[in-house]
Amino acid sequence: MSHEEFPTDRPAVVTCGLPYANGDLHIGHLRGYTAADALHRSIEKLGQQSAYVCGSDMHGTPIAVNAAQEGVSPEAFATRYHEQYAETFPKFNVEFDNYGHTHDETNTEITREFVERLEAEGYVYEDEIMVAWDPQEDQPLPDRYVEGTCPYCGEQARGDECDEGCGRHLEPGEIEDPVSTLTGNAAEYREREHKYFAVSELADYLSEFLDRLEGTSNAKNQPREWIEEGLQDWCITRDMDWGIDYPGEDDLVLYVWVDAPIEYVSSTKQYSERVGADEYDWEEVWGRDGGDGGEIVHVIGRDIIQHHTIFWPAMLHATGHAEPRAVCATGFVTIDGKGLSTSRNRAIWAEEYLDEGFHPDLLRYYLTTMGGFQQDLDFTWERFQERVNGELVGTVGNFVYRSMLFAARNFDGTPDAEVSDDVREHIDAAVGQFREAVKEYDVRNAGDAAVELAQFGNEYIQQHEPWQLEDGSDEQAQVIRDCLQVATAVAVLIEPICPEKAETVWDQLNVDGDVHAAETDAVDAEPGAFDEPDELFEKIEDDRVDELDAALEEKIEDATADEEDEDETDEEDTEMDESELEPLIDDRIDFDTFEGLDIRVGRIESAEGIDGADKLARLEVDIGVETRQIVAGIKQLHDLDEIEGKKVIVLANLEQAELFGVESNGMVLAAGEQADLLTTHEDAEPGTKVR
Ligand SMILES: [Zn+2]
């Protein structure tokens, strides 16, 4: 089954992953919000009714942990960031039709209703499970209160997420070698009663749903693998105070990922209530009226694909709601080729960008058109300058300004002439390209349609040289009339990405109506009389870029130095820190402890991937005395055929573990993110002890 093409006669809703009310916004966050804003505006340009809604995510352990550190209530802590976000987004022309938060009354009420429906439909059961427990504080350790080893890939992980390894959601009790983040103590596991959502029963539905789902390919392919591996039921309660109470239970709150996506529904309801259901009907969009629902489009970061393609559609389906039409998952943002790190200040903060005096539409343009939606996007000030000076100043700004200046001086605005067929055809082709791109959720290509049309305009005016023609002549009027229509069309098509700049062009051209509300047929709207225009964009000079680069570098150095001064780093932000070296461990071990490690030279006899595991390989390693089966996280990083016969270094007396049902009996030592395998330089035979 495929979806009906946009525009349909049902309302659409575009959402963006909720910002977590836990810190300042930076350009890494803005990528998603600007892309979703542009997508929403683009969909409306096709004549599709649409609302763009979002809200702050106020619950969960990181907020509770940070609020406790600050000595304020979680609500006060989260509200502070919520208010800051609500103020910041419009500064980047990210205009939500409604911006709520997960702790407000609407969301609390609708979340309870979802849970009650899940219960009524028989999808909720109770189970005794082992939860991590801090023996010193005598309290449970939900989610971020515990860290340890991912049972799937062996990487360091947080209680509910393998954020540095395979990216999986982790259920309570799954993490190995749990350590309390409250006290640093080894955590115990204790039995507690919790509520489970029987997601596994919905595996068949979810497979079919994924076949229908539109959006980016990563949002379809990853969940298919998870379903093939076998879905686990989902623990939806936590031993905590902060959150939405589980209906009828005093000491349990709902897991933050239950009420977070429900905010999409709640925020839509708030919008609907404000404008009236006649104008926008939230019950129709979410299928609460018994119908098929509207066009639900989720824009998210690629780290929350599982939540939006497994848990969320399962919840919607089980409660009788409509399902998402599309999930579009963006890549991350890097700075100068390195991971963004808020703790190391390797970030460009939203406020910082604005303080530099740059127009928000420039950043919007960069973030939405720089690379493919799914790919990671690198930000450098040089490339920012290049894109602004090249495409915005050189192509769009230059064309619009020279056409309008000439028109104002020679015709007091738009000359009296019909637009030529050739130019109409070019405009229509650009509209076609735009519409096709939007149907593919391809914001970058939609933006290209506008820039390429401006490029055509530049070539057109260059070819026809109106300044060589007799002033006021019909020939001259014709060329200028054509150019002004192209400028009008450029304004319409670039509006989703550069809304404020589009409005400036529209106003300067003196076209009737509102460019934001205009649909693509407005490319034919007639410009009127006007005076000499102002330049649309300003060139960024080289020395400005040098300054910005120097300031960024200094900032990163300062932050790194600060960090080294501290005895220990507290709450570490681990957002893609791979480029940085880990600090040395201060605690020394004695020689006996080292002697306790039985490290041997080994030779890889065979290597094969483990089905269903993205990263894991099963190795047979000859360590002289015997041959060991060892599971190693190297599947994606090495050509498994090529490493057979290679000598490696093995920690032989590591306790046995089972990974993906495969027993692992030792560890092959490897360096860094790329798992560079350690080996010997000379001819030490397998079994030789390393000391
Ligand atoms: Zn993992």
CA of 633 to the centre of ligand 1 (A): 10
Residue 422's Cβ-count burial label (10 Å; 0-12, 13-18, 19+) is: exposed
Q: Tell me the pLDDT of the chain averaged across its residues.
A: 92
CA of 332 to the centre of ligand 1 (A): 19
pLDDT tens digit sequence for 379-434: 999 999 999 999 999 999 999 999 999 999 999 999 999 999 999 999 999 999 99
Q: Give the burial string for 213-235 (b: 16+ CB within 10 Å, else e).
A: bbbbebbbebbeebbeeebebbb
pLDDT at 568: 40
CA of 169 to the centre of ligand 1 (A): 8
- C-alpha dihedral over 158, 257, 231, 608, to 10 degrees? -30
CA–CA gap between residue 174 and residue 193 (Å, rounded): 16
CA of 168 to the centre of ligand 1 (A): 6
C-alpha separations of 361 from 289, 426, 445, 454 in Å: 39, 25, 17, 17
CA of 31 to the centre of ligand 1 (A): 26
CA of 613 to the centre of ligand 1 (A): 10
CA of 322 to the centre of ligand 1 (A): 32
Whether 219 has a pLDDT exceeding 90, the answer reads yes
pLDDT at 543: 96
CA of 161 to the centre of ligand 1 (A): 8
CA of 617 to the centre of ligand 1 (A): 14
CA of 150 to the centre of ligand 1 (A): 5
| Alpha-carbon Rg for the chain in angstroms | 29
CA of 490 to the centre of ligand 1 (A): 47
| Mean pLDDT of all residues in 605-632 | 87
CA of residue 165 relative to chain centroid, distance: 17
CA of 62 to the centre of ligand 1 (A): 20
CA of 187 to the centre of ligand 1 (A): 19
Whether 579 has a pLDDT exceeding 50, the answer reads no
Retrieve residue 619's tokens: 């190795």
Residue 288's Cβ-count burial label (10 Å; 0-12, 13-18, 19+) is: middle
C-alpha separations of 2 from 310, 522, 650 in Å: 20, 29, 52
CA of 349 to the centre of ligand 1 (A): 30
CA of 142 to the centre of ligand 1 (A): 18
pLDDT at 1: 52
CA of 586 to the centre of ligand 1 (A): 27
CA of 225 to the centre of ligand 1 (A): 14
DSSP letter at 92? T
638 contact partners, CB below 8 Å, separation of at least 6: 607, 617, 675, 677
- State the pLDDT confidence band at 583, using cuts at 50, 70 and 90: low
The helix or strand, by DSSP H or E, that contains position 149, with its residue range, turns out to be strand 146-149
Strands 146-149, 234-235: pairing is: unpaired
CA–CA gap between residue 418 and residue 512 (Å, rounded): 18
CA of 343 to the centre of ligand 1 (A): 23
pLDDT tens digit sequence for 521-560: 999 999 999 999 999 999 999 999 999 999 998 888 887 7
CA of 141 to the centre of ligand 1 (A): 19
- State the pLDDT confidence band at 572, using cuts at 50, 70 and 90: very low
- State the pLDDT confidence band at 643, using cuts at 50, 70 and 90: confident
CA of 129 to the centre of ligand 1 (A): 21
CA of 511 to the centre of ligand 1 (A): 56
pLDDT at 380: 95
CA of 203 to the centre of ligand 1 (A): 22
pLDDT tens digit sequence for 316-362: 999 999 999 999 999 999 998 888 888 778 899 999 999 999 999 99
Nearest C-alpha neighbor of 529 from the set 512, 517, 516, 504: 512
CA of 612 to the centre of ligand 1 (A): 13
3-class DSSP assignment, residue 676:
strand
CA of 164 to the centre of ligand 1 (A): 7
| Mean pLDDT of all residues in 111-127 | 97
pTM, rounded to two decimals: 0.81
pLDDT tens digit sequence for 425-467: 999 999 999 999 999 999 999 999 999 999 999 999 999 999 9
